[in-house]
Amino acid sequence: MKSLNKLIPMTVFALASVASTGVVAQATMSGGNMGDMKMQHSAEAVEMSDGQVRKVDKKAGKITIKHGAIKNLDMPPMTMVYRVKDAALLDHVQKDDKVKFKAEMDGGATVVTEIEVVK
């Protein structure tokens, strides 16, 4: 038990120094690294991305979109197939429509959660 009594103050000291290191790290982040902070927050507030519909597959609940850069997914412009969150989203779009849409990661797949035709 004697050795335990010695250990406890050591542990408290170790925890305290870890905690203060954490505070320093946080201060550094909010001070100097606003770019990274924004990237993290954009996953919550998803921005609309631009695209053009290449194919609509209502039966499969899929849509092919030639899209511009998608900031929240860190994805460059490309043409790709998306699942849609709700097949009803496909009722309002057809091939060649210019669209704005939201795409999010869901269980390893990119899913369109909102889409609207740009007129």
Residues that bind Cu ion (CB under 5 A): 75, 78, 80
Task: Choose between 13 and 55: whose C-beta lies nearer to Cu ion.
Answer: 55
Does residue 97 contact residue 71 with C-beta atoms inside 8 Å?
no
Task: Choose between 67 and 90: whose C-beta lies nearer to Cu ion.
Answer: 67
- Smallest distance from the beta carbon of 75 to Cu ion, in angstroms? 5
Looking only at the bridges linking them, the beta strands covering 109-117 and 78-84 are parallel
Task: Choose between 48 and 75: whose C-beta lies nearer to Cu ion.
Answer: 75
Does residue 97 contact residue 117 with C-beta atoms inside 8 Å?
yes
